[in-house]
């Protein structure tokens, strides 16, 4: 977290958090959750457009998203920017920073958000005594790797429309897990950010949206997306 302590903090509380089955505490018993609660002592609010942290800052903590939506991106020296991920509630930010002890990417809130700070050294210390916690943490890291391999597949071998279809299906699945509609949601990111993530220019993203709409598979109204035909959307992926 930035030194700038204008960012408000309040107590976190895993035991009563509705996200606990999506988040770090998965599988812990009552007693263990109380221990974890001591570790995750601070929540902090990040306004839309603000940085949780910038690349280069020294790594201390992971952040679990309690509310809101983030993007992470890396910046090449020549100015090119690549969005490396979009993160929603219950997901962990900062896993890439463990290796270098420095955050490797800029992390920006795409809507008003709130994160729980997880001091990493303490997490490691605690996980020595809570094998379930350790194991689940390993699964979370491994899942990140699997996710990235999926994106590599997408970037390496899919065409524009396929990429967008895969992207929408991925968002949909994650919304469902959180109790939201599978077929009706608001995009938090711009066409340009989607394009960066999918390896496309924003005009191409826009055209791909329009084409899916013309085929009556989805409808798009600016940031509002409705999926009308989930099966045909699915068949767009991996059929080319």
Q: Which does 190 bind (CB under 5 to 8 A by kind): a copy of itself, DNA, none?
A: DNA
Among candidate residues 184, 1, 224, the one with its CA nearest the CA of residue 97? 1
Nearby residues of 119 by Cβ (< 8 Å), 6 or more positions away: 39, 60, 61
**Cα dihedral: 200, 55, 70, 229 (round 10):** 20
Other beta carbons less than 10 A from residue 198's beta carbon: 22
Instruction: Give yes or no for a contact between 87 and 70, defined as CB atoms under 8 angstroms apart.
Output: yes
Q: Does 109 help bind DNA (rule: CB under 7 A)?
A: no
Q: Does 38 help bind a copy of itself (rule: CB under 8 A)?
A: no
| Shortest Cβ 93–a copy of itself spacing (Å) | 12
Q: Does 220 help bind DNA (rule: CB under 7 A)?
A: yes
Region of 59-67, 91-99, 159-167, 171-179 interacting with DNA (CB under 7 A): 159-167
Q: Which of residues 181-210 bind DNA (CB under 7 A)?
A: 190-192, 199-207, 209-210
| Shortest Cβ 213–a copy of itself spacing (Å) | 24
Q: Which does 204 bind (CB under 5 to 8 A by kind): a copy of itself, DNA, none?
A: DNA
DSSP 58: B
Buried b or exposed e, range 11-32, using 16+ CB within 10 angstroms: ebbbeebebbebbbbbebeeeb
Instruction: Give yes or no for a contact between 127 and 118, defined as CB atoms under 8 angstroms apart.
Output: no
Q: Rounded CA gap, 130 and 110, in Å?
A: 34
| Shortest Cβ 8–a copy of itself spacing (Å) | 29
Q: Which does 209 bind (CB under 5 to 8 A by kind): a copy of itself, DNA, none?
A: DNA
Contact map string, positions 98 to 117, toward a copy of itself, x by CB under 8 A: xxx---xx------------
DSSP 183: S
- Chain contacts with a copy of itself (rule: CB under 8 A): 74, 76-78, 80, 82, 84, 95-100, 104-105, 124-125, 127-129, 131, 134-135, 138-146, 148-149, 151-153, 155-157, 196-199, 238-240
- Chain contacts with DNA (rule: CB under 7 A): 159-161, 190-192, 199-207, 209-210, 220-223
């Amino acid at each position: 977290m930035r030194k700038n302590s204008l960012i408000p903090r309040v107590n976190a509380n895993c035991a009563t958090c509705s996200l606990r089955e999506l988040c770090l505490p998965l599988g812990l018993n009552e007693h263990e959750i109380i221990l974890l609660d001591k570790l995750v002592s601070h929540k902090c609010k990040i306004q839309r457009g603000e940085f949780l942290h910038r690349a280069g800052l020294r790594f201390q903590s992971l952040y679990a998203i309690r509310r809101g939506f983030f993007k992470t991106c890396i910046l090449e020296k020549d100015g090119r920017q690549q969005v490396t991920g979009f993160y929603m509630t219950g997901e962990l930010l900062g896993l890439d920073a463990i290796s270098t002890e420095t955050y490797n990417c800029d992390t920006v809130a795409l809507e008003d958000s709130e994160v729980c700070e997880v001091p990493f050294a303490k997490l490691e210390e605690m996980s020595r005594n809570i094998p379930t916690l350790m194991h689940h943490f390993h699964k979370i890291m491994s899942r990140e790797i699997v996710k990235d391999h999926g994106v590599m597949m997408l970037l390496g071998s899919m065409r524009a429309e396929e990429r967008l279809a895969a992207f929408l299906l991925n968002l949909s699945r994650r919304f469902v897990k959180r109790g939201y509609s599978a077929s009706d949601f608001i995009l938090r990111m711009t066409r340009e950010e989607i394009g960066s993530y999918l390896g496309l220019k924003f005009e191409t993203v826009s055209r791909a949206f329009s084409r899916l709409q013309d085929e009556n598979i989805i409808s798009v109204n600016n940031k509002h997306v409705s999926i009308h035909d989930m099966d045909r959307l699915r068949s767009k992926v991996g059929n080319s």
